[in-house]
Amino acid sequence: MAKKIDKTEDQLASVEQALGKTEQFIENNRKMISYVISGIVVLVLVVMGYNKYIIKPKEIKAFNAIHYAEAYFNTDSFQLALDGDGMNPGFLEIIDDYGSTKSGNLAYFYAGVCYLNLGMNDTSAARVELLENAIDYLDDFSSDDELIQPMALGAMGDAYDELDNPEKAVQMYMKAANASSNEFSAPVFLMKAGIVYSSLGNHEEALKAFQRIKDEFFTSPEGRDIKKYIAREEGFLNK
């Protein structure tokens, strides 16, 4: 019992000694600690002020500005959607002014799709540049949305396909198909991937893509006729 008491007293003494050292450290470094705490408080206030007075107003301005460009986009007026109408900004100006905002990020997606549509309908020498712009802007877009992100990847696949780069196109189609399991986009891009794989003579991968539609998305529009695509690839493979 005495040993336990002695041990407890030793522990208390150690704690008191440690507390004493801590108090001494604080006393010796009071100014430094004060500066550090003040610095942390200032940093927090700066961040809060930046979010309140710069980020939030910028988000609101970008949100309000993008509506005009979206309206042109929805009527297939892709050049006006990109460049604006002289009074209201287009997606390119929104990217320049508000690229770091949520609406600015979305403008990258819209701009990419605009360039894709312009390139697909252009027969001049500018066609290649338009399609390359589509890829660049879509590549700069990033989202966790399970519908929009696959659409961006798939649109990049379309641009590569238009540029006669089927290897890169099928890569993007498969990324788009794997980015989400939703029945709206996944079977669409699996179908596109299967068709491109088949055109490349890669009938094993084409069959895998078509089989996934049958297994996972049989009720989708692509799933209704998928058996004939599967039969065709099996014929190529003599299965």
Q: What is the pLDDT of residues 40-83, one digit of tens each?
A: 544 444 445 434 534 566 788 878 889 999 999 999 999 999 99
Q: How far apart are CA 115 and CA 156, in angstroms?
A: 11
pLDDT at 32: 54
55/230: higher pLDDT: 230
Q: How far apart are CA 100 and CA 57, in angstroms?
A: 13
Tell whether pTM > 0.85.
no
pLDDT at 121: 94
Confidence of residue 200 (pLDDT cuts 50, 70, 90): very high
**Domains defined for the chain, CATH in brackets:** 143-239 (1.25.40.10)
pLDDT at 63: 82
Confidence of residue 30 (pLDDT cuts 50, 70, 90): low
pLDDT at 42: 44
Q: What is the mean pLDDT of residues 98-111?
A: 92
Upper half-sphere CA count for residue 74 (Cβ side, 13 Å): 6
Confidence of residue 15 (pLDDT cuts 50, 70, 90): very low
Asked if pLDDT for residue 175 goes beyond 80, the answer is: yes
Give CB contacts under 8 A, 24+ apart, made by 41-49. none
Contact between residue 128 and residue 163 where contact means Cβ atoms under 8 Å apart:
yes
pLDDT at 49: 46
